[in-house]
């Protein structure tokens, strides 16, 4: 979406990204590495592309093959298992191989700008690892933050002093380019970014914990941020510069931030395994939704994500798409694509 907005539709991008879809899609904790897929295509010695025909090895899951099938870009796998040194090597090899006209590092929400000690911080590891590598690669990297605060971890007020000029404000036309993807992809941050670009305003409740995220005029803005300033602020990124394994990165995260987000996933995955499967009963869902909406409305919530509804109704990730379609078919007027509008209050 951002590539088309900034550079047009003529040139394709290489999108280097994690295969880390969290437990909603992938029941295996942590990110997936190259060894977790079949059908990858080698680009350089350290970097593989994830084509449409690639498949994660069961029981792992990944949205990357479907993204590759639906979008005209090359999706390259960012493999974090060799630490910041490994990610830096991947970046350097891609730069040498493609000689790109531009390199943009994009974070949605801005939690990549965290110091590491913020009580609201939930997922510092992946961002810090990418930031540590980006500042070491021998190339000019432009650092962009889209939708300040939309990840629900740092507030826009906390982020504002760090944000530079607005590079672009996303519009409904920009979102239209990926509208079909938004119908199935589970990313909450991207969903809120797209919704704000379409003009949705209010408070959106996200994640299993029900974090409230403000949907404001700041939501669709894309800011440039000084890369060196971001690194000087991010304690975890500075600490992991020379790490050669993901285990080392985790150890630093526990020391600096007090936790590893992969530990959280390990604990949650173990808990989920102990839960009895809940059948999606269409007749029971709507009354349950009414109660959820009444409670959410009493908290001032105007919108939520389908991930949040799925978990609030004690359903598992594999039932999310079925639940989503059931709700849209039953109450189409509440579908503020790709979010769900709360209309019932206590």
Residue 181 confidence (pLDDT) above 60: yes
Averaged over 315-326, what is the pLDDT? 91
The pLDDT of residue 76 is 98
Q: How many CA atoms lie within 13 A of 226 on its CB side?
A: 8
- What is the percentage of the chain residues whose pLDDT exceeds 70? 99
Averaged over 205-215, what is the pLDDT? 93
Q: How many CA atoms lie within 13 A of 87 on its CB side?
A: 29
Do residues 13 and 3 touch, judged by C-beta distance below 8 A?
yes
The C-alpha angle with vertex 121 and arms to 302 and 23, in degrees rounded to 5, equals 75
H or E element, residue 227: helix 227-233
Averaged over 263-277, what is the pLDDT? 90
Supply the pTM of this predicted model: 0.95
Averaged over 51-65, what is the pLDDT? 97
- What is the percentage of the chain residues whose pLDDT exceeds 90? 90
Span 70-118, pLDDT tens digits: 999 999 999 999 999 999 999 999 999 999 999 999 999 999 999 999 9
The pLDDT of residue 346 is 44
Nearest CA to 345 among 316, 302, 286? 302
Span 227-257, pLDDT tens digits: 999 999 999 999 999 999 999 999 999 999 9
Enumerate the domain spans of the chain.
2-170+220-239, 189-216+278-346
**pLDDT range class, residue 344, cuts 50, 70, 90:** low
**pLDDT range class, residue 264, cuts 50, 70, 90:** very high
> How many Cβ atoms from other residues are within 10 Å of residue 118's Cβ?
15
Averaged over 207-236, what is the pLDDT? 96
Residue 345 confidence (pLDDT) above 60: no
Averaged over 36-48, what is the pLDDT? 98
Q: Which residue has the higher pLDDT, 275 or 269?
A: 269
Please report the DSSP string for 111-157 in residue order: GGG--S--TT---HHHHHHHHHHHTTSSS--EEEEESTTTTSSS-HH
């Amino acid at each position: 979406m951002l590539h088309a907005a900034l550079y047009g539709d003529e040139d394709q991008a290489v999108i280097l990204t994690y295969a880390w879809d969290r437990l909603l899609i992938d029941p295996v904790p942590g990110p997936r590495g190259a060894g977790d897929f079949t059908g990858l295509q080698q680009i350089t010695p350290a970097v593989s592309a994830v084509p449409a025909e690639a498949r994660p090895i069961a029981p792992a899951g990944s949205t990357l093959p479907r993204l590759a099938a639906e979008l005209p870009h090359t999706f390259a796998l960012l493999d974090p298992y060799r630490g910041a040194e490994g990610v830096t090597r991947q970046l350097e090899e891609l730069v040498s191989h493609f000689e790109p006209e531009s390199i943009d590092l994009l974070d949605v929400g801005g939690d990549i700008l965290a110091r590491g000690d913020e009580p609201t911080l939930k997922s510092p590891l992946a961002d810090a690892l990418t930031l540590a590598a980006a500042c070491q690669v021998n190339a000019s990297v432009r650092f962009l933050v889209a939708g300040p605060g939309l990840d629900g971890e740092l507030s826009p007020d906390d982020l504002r002093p760090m944000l530079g000029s607005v590079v672009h404000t996303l519009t409904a036309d920009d979102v239209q380019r990926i509208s079909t993807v938004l119908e199935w992809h589970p990313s909450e941050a991207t969903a809120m970014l797209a919704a704000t670009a379409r003009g949705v305003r209010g408070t959106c409740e996200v994640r299993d914990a029900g974090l409230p995220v403000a949907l404001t005029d700041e939501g669709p803005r894309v800011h440039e941020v000084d890369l060196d300033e971001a690194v000087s602020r991010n304690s975890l990124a500075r600490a992991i510069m020379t790490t050669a394994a993901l285990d080392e990165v985790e150890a630093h995260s526990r020391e600096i931030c007090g936790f590893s987000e992969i530990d959280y996933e390990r604990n949650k995955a173990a808990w989920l395994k102990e839960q009895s499967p809940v059948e999606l009963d269409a007749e029971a869902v709507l009354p349950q939704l009414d109660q959820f909406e009444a409670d959410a409305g009493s908290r001032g919530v105007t919108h939520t994500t389908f991930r949040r509804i799925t978990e609030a109704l004690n359903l598992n990730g594999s039932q999310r798409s079925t639940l989503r379609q059931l709700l849209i078919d039953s109450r189409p007027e509440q579908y503020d694509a790709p979010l769900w509008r709360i209309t019932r209050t206590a």
